[in-house]
């Protein structure tokens, strides 16, 4: 068992108002788009399906360009001639709500995108020295009554083989218990039942760049939920980004600094969130063992995946 050590650190945080992050000029086509936040965005009108300029990477995928499903996680896969990693973008109400990295391996790409309630657009993009190609489709999530009351999303961009895990602790909950929503207990069709709320981890990434995504559709409890990141496989130098949403609109973002490591920075307690009052309190503490809860660091064994 590791000796519990805690070190407060300064974490770079970007508090976001509702900025025009990829504000689109129309709601009936894929462009043009002006971006202020995401790393890449279309700059010309797109058609549904593949949009491949001369010399730019090929994109081949199967399936419809108009998707309607009840599952909140949408699988993105296909082949490309790109040798560099690409990006996925999710656009809803003319704003990029989420984005992440699409890893390329031996000409193939695969990822999972957490869908938001209702209609949205999913883009994936790959670039080489001659241009950028996009694949554009419409997706509708049907198994919802409205935007999620609360959502927290984890991505990382340093190492495609690393495995970071997202934990959401119920108010007064203990890490690794039934009051901690994480990969060990919070996946599947129902997630967990915490009073009137049902937190669900709908995307669990074990060998990519994320995302990991936990949401509460409704019924949040009073008190502070805690957000904790675990460097599950001890990757050194991994940089994590955590986005917090209310009603599917990003409220704040935190990036781990310094990076995660295999010794003193295995766990990162990011923030406490009162969902009902929408008060976010940064914690920004790295520890070598599972963070203490109610003054006691619980015994917790890593669960095999």
pTM of the model: 0.78
Angstrom distance (rounded) from CA 103 to CA 125 = 11
Q: Kindly state the tokens that stand for 10.
A: 């300064």
Angstrom distance (rounded) from CA 195 to CA 283 = 26
The mean per-residue pLDDT over the stretch 30-52 comes to 73
The mean per-residue pLDDT over the stretch 122-137 comes to 94
Angstrom distance (rounded) from CA 103 to CA 275 = 33
pLDDT, position 78: 96
Which has more confidence, 162 or 247?
247
Neighbouring CB atoms inside 10 A of 158's CB total 16
pLDDT, position 7: 32
C-alpha 265: how far from chain center: 20
Which has more confidence, 186 or 45?
186
Ranking 30-44, 214-228, 263-277 by mean pLDDT, the lowest is: 30-44
Which has more confidence, 48 or 208?
48
How large a percentage of the chain has pLDDT more than 90? 50
> Residue for token digits 């554009």?
136
pLDDT confidence band for 171 (50 / 70 / 90):
very high
pLDDT confidence band for 291 (50 / 70 / 90):
confident
Domains of the chain, start order: 6-18+146-287 (2.60.60.30), 23-141 (2.60.40.10)
pLDDT, position 206: 59
Q: Is residue 126 a contact partner of residue 84, using CB atoms and an 8 Å limit?
A: yes
Which has more confidence, 98 or 69?
69
Q: What tens digit of pLDDT does each residue of 56-97 get?
A: 999 999 889 999 999 888 988 999 999 999 999 998 877 778
pLDDT at 273 > cutoff 90: yes
């Amino acid at each position: 068992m590791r000796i519990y050590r805690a070190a407060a650190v300064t974490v770079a945080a970007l508090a976001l108002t509702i900025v025009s992050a990829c504000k689109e000029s129309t709601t009936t086509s894929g462009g043009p788009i002006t971006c202020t936040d995401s790393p890449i965005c279309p700059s010309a009108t797109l058609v549904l399906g593949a949009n491949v300029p001369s010399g730019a990477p090929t994109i081949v995928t199967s399936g419809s360009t108009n998707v309607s499903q009840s599952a909140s996680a949408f699988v993105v896969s296909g082949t490309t001639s790109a040798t560099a990693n690409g990006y996925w973008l999710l656009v809803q109400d003319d704003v990029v709500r989420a984005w992440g990295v699409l890893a390329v391996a031996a000409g193939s790409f695969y990822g999972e995108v957490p869908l938001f309630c209702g209609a949205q657009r999913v883009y994936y993009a790959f670039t080489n020295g001659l241009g950028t190609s996009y694949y554009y489709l419409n997706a509708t999530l049907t198994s919802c009554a409205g935007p999620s009351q609360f959502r927290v999303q984890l991505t990382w961009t340093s190492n495609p083989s690393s495995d970071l895990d997202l934990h959401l602790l119920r108010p007064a909950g203990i890490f690794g218990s039934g009051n901690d929503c994480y990969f060990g207990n919070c996946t599947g069709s129902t997630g967990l039942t915490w009073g009137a709320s049902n937190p669900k981890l709908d995307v669990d990434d074990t060998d990519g760049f994320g995302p990991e995504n936990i949401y509460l559709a409704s019924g949040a409890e009073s008190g502070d939920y805690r957000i904790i990141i675990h460097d599950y496989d001890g990757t050194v130098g991994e940089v994590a980004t955590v986005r917090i949403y209310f009603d599917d609109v990003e409220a704040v973002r935190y990036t781990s600094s310094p990076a995660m490591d295999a010794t003193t920075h295995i766990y990162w307690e990011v923030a406490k969130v009162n969902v009902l009052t929408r008060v976010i309190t940064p914690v920004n503490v790295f520890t070598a063992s599972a963070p203490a809860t109610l003054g006691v660091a619980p015994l917790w064994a890593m669960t095999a995946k």
